[in-house]
Amino acid sequence: MSTHHHLQSGRRRLSSHHFLDAADDYVAGYAILGSANIARKLWKAMFMSGNSRVVCVASRDTARAQAFIDECQALLPFPQAPEAVEGYEAALARDDVQCVYIPLPTALRKEWVLKAAASGKHVLVEKPVGLNTEDVQEMIQACIKHNVHLMDGVMFMHSARLQLLQKTLPSLGPLRRINSEFCFKANEAFFQSNIRCSSATEPLGCLGDLGWYNIRLTLWAMNWYLPVRARGCLLKENADGVPYEFSGELLFESGCSATFFCSFLTHETQLAVLNGEEASVQYSDFVLPLPGRYLYFDVNHQSYPQEGLDQVVHSYSERHHVQEAGYGHPSSQEACMVRHLSDLSREGGGETTKWPEQMLKTQMVLDAVLLSARAPGRGVGGDGGRE
């Protein structure tokens, strides 16, 4: 199959490049806990990463794990078929597993992150990482104690686009406003059955599932400074208090402010706007990149000079590209994410504080906007945002 051949080629090319200086052919073995839908994308990412493989898929029900494996192997087979194992503990006990991918419901994550760490496994955990900041701190402490890496599944952090944007940010001048939206309109089946709507499994609702990305992008743009004030508005929640639509505003000491909007009720959008004093950046796929072999963002300039009797509008945009596939390719952000963790999972694979710090701050801001929303009339921190 030509597509498969192409993917395999891409994999070899990237992995040989990636391991140019490597003395061995280290391939990290992953256990996938559960068979959440997102795990299909991660299966492919592990395949494409060039330095990772799925060793096993664990489920309370072995048949379910086997069905998941069969489905994925039929589409993109690992040379050595992953094994279906009964129970998550069994996966953690295996010597051929170096990393554990945990897409379990948020309410279960802490337990299994702690157990994975205690088993000496590196952890890739879905977002939101925890139910609250305390849980995340506990997870981080456990991973530090057991000397394992902990990374949350925010794929865009691993995109070359973000690196290019980082280099471009200074040309915007000081940032003054960050504006992001991440929404999808869920169907009735989602609201009836999906774990994302149950307060028992996903009490953070759209804020955890979507707002996590808004907050993360904002903190990234602010170079990880925490806001001095955070305000949230629960625009819609279900009877159990699970957020369905949420807006937040963050104020930073630099004078920059940020607004974000996330929703299960609004048509799909993933707009990111960074307004600086000298220019703006805008792109419409900040979480899930558009298809194709290039990702981009636009740097926008406008001016409104008076010319004769006219107030003229001048406008120009520079589109900045990186050569990176939107998804499902060795170059795509989810493959880079897995490749990155697999690299770290080697002995002496790098410092262990970068990703924990980012996820902790994300969770702290998430907690703050939610607290603000549930105590209407007061933001968290600061003096009301006035100068």
Place of tokens 């929404």: 183
> Interface residues for a second copy in 62-91 (CB under 8 A)?
72, 75-76
Does residue 169 interact with a second copy by CB under 8 A? no
Span interacting with a second copy, options 125-133, 220-228, 256-264, 340-348, rule CB under 8 A: 256-264
Long-range contacts for 22-27 (Cβ within 8 Å, ≥24 apart)? 26/51, 26/342, 26/346, 27/51, 27/52, 27/53, 27/342
Range 102-121, binding a second copy (CB under 8 A): none
43-64 as b/e: b if 16+ CB within 10 A: bbbbbbbbbbbbbbbbbeebee
**Least distance between a second copy and beta carbon 63 (Å):** 20
Do 146 and 117 form a contact (C-beta atoms < 8 A)?
yes
Q: How many CB atoms lie within 10 A of CB 305?
A: 9
Nearest to 338 by CA among 145, 147, 9, 54: 54
CB of 313 to a second copy, least distance (A): 5
Binding mask 216-245 vs a second copy (x if CB under 8 A, - otherwise)?
A: -----------------xxxxx-------x
Q: Which is nearer to a second copy, 43 or 355 (CB)?
A: 43
> In 3D, which of 270, 340, 333 has the Cα closest to residue 44?
333
Binding residues with a second copy: total (CB under 8 A): 81
The reply on whether position 177 binds a second copy by CB under 8 A is: yes
Instruction: Return the residues of window 179-198 that contact a second copy according to CB under 8 A.
Output: 179, 181, 183-185
We find the least distance from the C-beta atom of residue 295 to a second copy, in angstroms, to be 11
Q: Indicate which single residue of 21, 23, 192, 308 sits in contact with a second copy (rule: CB under 8 A).
A: 308
Of the pair 17, 321, the CB lying nearest a second copy is at: 321
Q: From CA 130, how far away is CA 120, in angstroms rounded?
A: 20
Binding of residue 10 to a second copy (CB under 8 A)? no
Contact between 310 and 348 under an 8 Å Cβ cutoff? The reply is: no
Verify binding: residue 101, a second copy, rule CB under 8 A.
no
Residues 342-381, interacting with a second copy (CB under 8 A) = 373-374, 376-379
| Best CA proximity match to 235, nearest among 226, 222, 244 | 244
Site for a second copy in 38-57 (CB under 8 A): 38, 40-41, 43-44
